Chain A
């Protein structure tokens, strides 16, 4: 949960909470500034948009991938698991307004929900597991800065029992043994992981037993029905996940055995421990025949079924009999993206290629090529591609499982620059825009720290990057990448991001929340790479902005995306500017609107400011019937 604030509200939901009985606690609530009417209203609208874009209804499939029912209300589910008898679902729902997560039990037949926990603002519970008799649920709570494993009756009756106080952090509770005597959990961070088993016999001084540890991260351990083995996920340095099995006895020299060839889910023991099911990276449901007696053995996994839809459902849980699959369909239904070029009035100029899973389209400096991030429907892998606008011929730039972000064209159009997640770090690379050769490491930032690219100087001598609300300059003139050190260009108490240089290099536009919390505006400052920013600046926007900050090639116009909290539409704004003898800006105007939601990118605008390229959501052809491997 500590990877990216962009991903989990938990990251930004740091609570300021009671830790000692005698102290006066501060920081539970919002500041006066954050509670002001306009800030609160904007937050409520953002939350409503987030809910619309991310909430879904839990759905049950049979073992052939056919939908058999829905469970409960539309919500933002963090996790959901079927009870042993299959009649109830325990689910963690996110409350955006309260910045919290809580546990509910839903009746599969009626949808009636029972609330089991009520978290204070910014606190949460997660990782529910059913007791084998279906009478209780154990889960991890984070309250008052203390991680605990707790349990209570599935009916919501009675008091909560604390099973284990974790002296550390990052527990991933994932199973309750069939004999009811053990829980299993893992603790992982960027330095590796440890797999534990906790014997429930005894009192609050229970001590977990370490099964094994690794310099790789470990998740989602699950007992075989006979309790002799544990399946678990190991995440390698390139963030590729695999399912392994090993003995649950730490003294036994048994295993590990690698079951999967790439997984997108935990392993689920099925049929009394005779099979392991999981979702492969291509979203196929796979089944591996296994045996746990006299010792562990397994056969090559076979295809059980694959949903023949562009965006397969997210697998949440598989019942122990292998007959029911609990999934979360895509929140906005089956959608692909059509790369589309628009003019300044928002009229379609051209549709490029066929719909696919595209994000972040960006014009090359010459406007004849597009850089896109494309997710392969077969492998689930996201890679950078360059598409010729006229011929639609696509050239692959990357081919790997790493997460790649903030791709940019070099000013001469010969290279693609990007950050890629590797072993918890975000090195910056470049690769030839024709796909030839190997990628070249340009820069490594602080270990574990995210760094995103926002611009490259026209002479290619330095990168403009952002990290943690600081605008950084990275000189590329030093030949050794390890010796390239970032310089803080703009660093203050506000979140300053997305530095974009004027074409003449004399000014820098950026976004900052200095005017209001949780809202960004565009500002421009004089720029000199040789020294940090001074106090001189001009505010360009006044009504809030999101993304898409761009200078027209002649430096006479700045484009940005206006904030539209009432509709989620894309609103492209333009402000005429002058940079000589000094900076002057006219009032921004709406250039055009498109029905949302539409994602955009820094490179969405052509050099001359006449064209805009966007990945527009379009309904995907949906095949009702899943394909079966049986």
Chain B
């Protein structure tokens, strides 16, 4: 029996007042089996809990600009890893590419799998977001 099963079968309520928790089960909102890739201009960053958010303006099929709202891991996730807010800020106003698990409601939103910054660095949010 793997931990994946155990998580569902074992009572894990030994949880106490105040330990940190993940915010939500990503599969409630995003379909991990529906991946899309968007390329466009990073226009905004919201670097707050419970998740980071990024806005990417993408040129649509008819030439119109479509705004994608993209969810990333929490700021504390990045805080202990060697990529952070400055790396994303440097890409604001520049072209980025994001591979997403698309929202189940098919809106122009998704959960980051990989995020290619304007300088070519690739940030992957896997396995957490994969």
Contacts and interface: CB of A to CB of B under 8 A. Distances in A.
Contacts of A496: 49
Contact of A2 (B26, B31, B114): B26
A167 B113 CA distance: 13
Interface string B13-50: 11111111111111111011101000000000001111
Interface in B72-129: 73-85, 87, 99, 104, 113-114, 116, 119-129
Given A14-B129, A26-B83, A189-B32, A492 B19 contact: no
B75 A235 contact: no
A147 B33 CA distance: 12
A452 B128 CA distance: 22
B91 to A, nearest CB: 12
A172 B5 contact: yes
A560 B14 CA distance: 19
A468 interface: yes
Contact of B4 (A1, A32, A403): A1
Given A219-B4, A447-B29, A31 B77 contact: no
A491 B25 CA distance: 20
B26 A144 contact: no
B80 A15 contact: no
Contacts of A1: 3-4, 7
Interface stretch (A16-24, A342-350, A474-482): A16-24
Contacts of B74: 468-469, 495
A1 B8 CA distance: 9
Given A1-B3, A26-B82, A547 B126 contact: no
B51 to A, nearest CB: 7
Contacts of A452: 15, 21
Interface in A143-202: 144-147, 167-170, 172, 187, 189-191
Interface stretch (A67-75, A251-259, A599-607): A599-607
A450 to B, nearest CB: 5
Contacts of A424: 25, 28
A231 interface: no
A5 B20 contact: yes
A513 B49 CA distance: 12
A18 B122 contact: yes
Nearest to B76: A495
Interface in B54-81: 73-81
Contact of A599 (B14, B47, B84, B124): B14
Contacts of A603: 17
Interface string A115-127: 0000000111011
Given A16-B125, A19-B122, A446 B24 contact: yes
A63 B108 CA distance: 56
Given A190-B25, A493-B47, A4 B87 contact: no
A13 B74 CA distance: 13
B13 A147 contact: no
Contacts of A380: 11
Contacts of A220: 1, 5
A30 interface: yes
A494 interface: yes
A14 B73 contact: yes
A567 to B, nearest CB: 19
Given A25-B122, A380-B11, A172 B49 contact: no
From B1, B3, B50, B83, residue with most partner A Cβ within 10 Å: B1
A15 to B, nearest CB: 6
B23 A450 contact: yes
Interface in A302-341: 314-317
A446 B24 CA distance: 8
Given A467-B50, A493-B75, A6 B19 contact: yes
B128 to A, nearest CB: 3
Contacts of B22: 2-6, 11-12, 450, 468
A136 interface: no
A126 B9 contact: no
B18 A511 contact: yes
A599 B82 contact: no
Interface of B: 1-29, 31-33, 35, 47-51, 73-85, 87, 99, 104, 113-114, 116, 119-130
Closest 9 CB pairs of A and B: A468-B50, A448-B28, A468-B23, A14-B128, A145-B126, A168-B33, A449-B24, A189-B27, A469-B49
Interface of A: 1-8, 10-20, 22-34, 78-79, 92, 122-124, 126-127, 142, 144-147, 167-170, 172, 187, 189-191, 217, 219-220, 233, 235, 239, 241, 263-266, 314-317, 359-360, 373, 375, 380-382, 403-406, 424-425, 446-450, 452, 454, 466-470, 491-498, 511, 513, 517-518, 546-549, 599-603
22 contacts: A2-B27, A3-B8, A3-B22, A6-B22, A10-B3, A14-B125, A16-B124, A19-B124, A19-B126, A127-B2, A144-B126, A172-B5, A359-B16, A375-B11, A380-B11, A381-B11, A447-B24, A448-B25, A449-B24, A492-B49, A518-B80, A549-B18
Given A187-B33, A241-B9, A468-B74, 20 more contacts: A3-B12, A4-B21, A11-B128, A23-B120, A26-B122, A30-B81, A31-B84, A145-B130, A147-B130, A190-B27, A190-B28, A219-B4, A219-B5, A265-B1, A266-B1, A380-B11, A406-B17, A467-B23, A493-B79, A549-B18
